[in-house]
Homo-oligomer: A and B are copies of this chain.
């Protein structure tokens, strides 16, 4: 992979990169399509990264569907699919970690200690191997994408982080490889996340600027669904991910909600008096 990337770099080509954990859905493929518009070649990877799963989490049962995934990437005409083994990424003696301090420990990081350290470490490794000019991440994992953008800035990487929109099912459920875990009744109930986010957006449009009110609205709607249990429901600044009191600038409404054993996240970018179309890359 390094050799292929090096050759593309030396030929002055623009390398796009879509790293994934496989179990591809339309969200991943929209990132590939996005990358194809701006880059040639587009490289992809599938690596279920053990370092970003906690000991009680779903590393072992995370869906692995490499053959159909490879076929999908092939149909999308990606130039290469990087498929490293765990022992290749983390050989004996591996001991380096990359951490973005502060934000890594909040929100997702509070529920999943060490998760983001695992993410930033593996993403930096992948960037060093693939040497992308542009790397594409889904906005569903908004905090992850923000942390990776901070890392790229802080470490002077030659890689620009680009965010793709959330792709949703008919009923609004955000595409996620973990949706496969949902039992039929949970799957149906899971649409409540998007309904809550839409309600917050609509309330903002109707003039509500008080973040606590919007947060309570999110909670009220989710709690109306008996199968759903809130982990967090927050209104945070889009750049700093700090809680806000009033929504005066673009903010994320962020949700983490359990449906049975399955933990789903979702979010919506909300802003006073604008539409939701927004800058394509993080403004650092």
Tell whether, in the assembled complex, residue B95 and residue A155 are in contact, meaning their CB atoms are under 8 Å apart: no
Is there an interface contact between B128 and A96, defined as CB atoms closer than 8 Å?
no
Complex interface: chain B residues within 8 A of A154 (CB)? 94-96, 125
The chain B residue with its CB closest to the CB of A5 is: B158
Whether A217 is near chain B, meaning CB under 8 Å from some CB there, is no
> Which residue of chain B is the closest to A99 with respect to CB atoms?
B97
CA gap between A142 and B156 in the complex, in Å = 26
Q: A79–B158 Cα gap in the complex (Å)? A: 21
Evaluate contact between A96 and B155: CB separation under 8 angstroms.
yes
Q: Are A97 and B98 in contact, CB atoms less than 8 angstroms apart? A: yes
A125 with B156, Cβ < 8 A, contacts A95-B101, A98-B98 known:
yes
Cα of A147 to Cα of B268 in the assembled complex, Å: 42
Interface residues of A in 7-60 (CB under 8 A from B): 9-10, 12
Sort A-B residue pairs by CB-CB distance and give the 4 closest, nearest first: A96-B154, A128-B156, A95-B101, A129-B156
A42 CB to closest chain B CB, in angstroms? 20
Copies in the complex: 2
Chain A contributes a number of interface residues (CB within 8 A of B) equal to 28
What are 5 A-B contacts defined by CB distance under 8 Å? A95-B103, A96-B100, A96-B150, A97-B98, A98-B155
Q: Please tell me if the beta carbons of B155 and A124 are within 8 angstroms of each other in the complex.
A: yes
The minimal Cβ–Cβ distance linking A83 to chain B, given in whole angstroms, is 15
CB of A168 within 8 Å of the partner chain: no
A151 interface residue, CB < 8 Å from B? Answer: yes
Which positions 199-245 of chain A face chain B at CB distance < 8 Å? none
A72 within 8 A of B: no
A81 CB within 8 Å of chain B: no
- Whether, in the assembled complex, A102 has its beta carbon less than 8 Å from a beta carbon of chain B, the answer is yes
Q: With an 8 A cutoff between CB atoms, is A157 at the interface?
A: yes
A124–B157 alpha-carbon span in the complex (Å): 10
